[in-house]
Amino acid sequence: MKSRYSILWFVFIILNFFHLSGQDLSKNQFKWNLHEEYTYKVKYSFIRLGTLKLSVDDTSRIDGHKVYKIMMYVDSNPILFWVNMHSVFEVYMDESFRPVLFYSNENIDGVNYRGTFKFNYNKKTVTMNYRSVEDSTKFINKESPFDDIPYDGLSLIFFARGNVGKNKPDTLLVMVEDKRGPVIINFTDKESNIEIGALDDELNCYYIDGELLVEGIAGVSGPYEGWFSRDSHRVPLYAKMKVFIGSVNIELEEWKNWNYIAVKN
């Protein structure tokens, strides 16, 4: 009888071990969060340059593959009369964070542009189309081959979200309009904490750093740092990077459909 209870107790411990291990594993894996929305303030020293809004709006299918519709809105501070930037970026990416279809609507200095990028991973080509909103006769069509996956800025953010916590460096190809270049990402599993102005509490997070070796929108290039929530959603909380005027800070200030309690210290 005693040996029977010992066996039952041993089985109970083993089952609980695997149950808890499964919980930890799922917690450490990135989970897509449909209808999440995050708003960030962009500051240069004490000056607010503008606002970024990032959201996961929907899912659909392109060429038989499930894709996520990601939106980003970029708006400069209207008080800064010398900066006029109001842009909308829309990307459809697959569950491996590869961009499949990308749209951009940009208003820069009063001129409206519409860009479309279609990625064909079988042919390893990207088709690019630029068209003036005001004058449809002005357009450029271009097809360009690629060997490595060319990430746009939004898919790069989600690739980072999906891979933070892995203690390894990575080098990816990033595409900014018709320019391409490498971006170095140093992933780490090192535990870190950060405090944002929207909350009084420190948040438990993952930390990455690296270097962007091609110039992006607003002159983004060079070294950068990023902090992501240490939960299954890996929310971008804070970033430091260089733009054309110098170093800027990007900080989460509002959110929808995310509960920060899990990463609260």
Average pLDDT over residues 171-179: 85
Assign 7 to helix, strand or coil.
helix
State the pLDDT at residue 250: 97
Stretch (H or E) spanning 19 = helix 2-28
Average pLDDT over residues 134-151: 87
Nearest residue to 205 via CA among 188, 233, 229, 187: 229
In one-letter notation, the amino acid at residue 48 is: R
State the pLDDT at residue 38: 98
**pLDDT tens string 188-246:** 888 899 999 999 889 999 999 999 998 876 678 899 999 999 999 999 999 999 988 88
Check pLDDT > 50 for residue 17. Answer: no
Average pLDDT over residues 181-189: 93
Q: Mean pLDDT over all residues of the chain?
A: 86
Q: How confident is the model at residue 94 (pLDDT cuts 50, 70, 90)?
A: very high
State the pLDDT at residue 107: 66
- Which residues, 6 or more positions from 78, have their beta carbon under 8 angstroms from its beta carbon? none
Check pLDDT > 60 for residue 136. Answer: yes
Nearest residue to 99 via CA among 142, 67, 60, 127: 67
- What token pair was written down for 209? 């750093």
Q: How confident is the model at residue 108 (pLDDT cuts 50, 70, 90)?
A: low
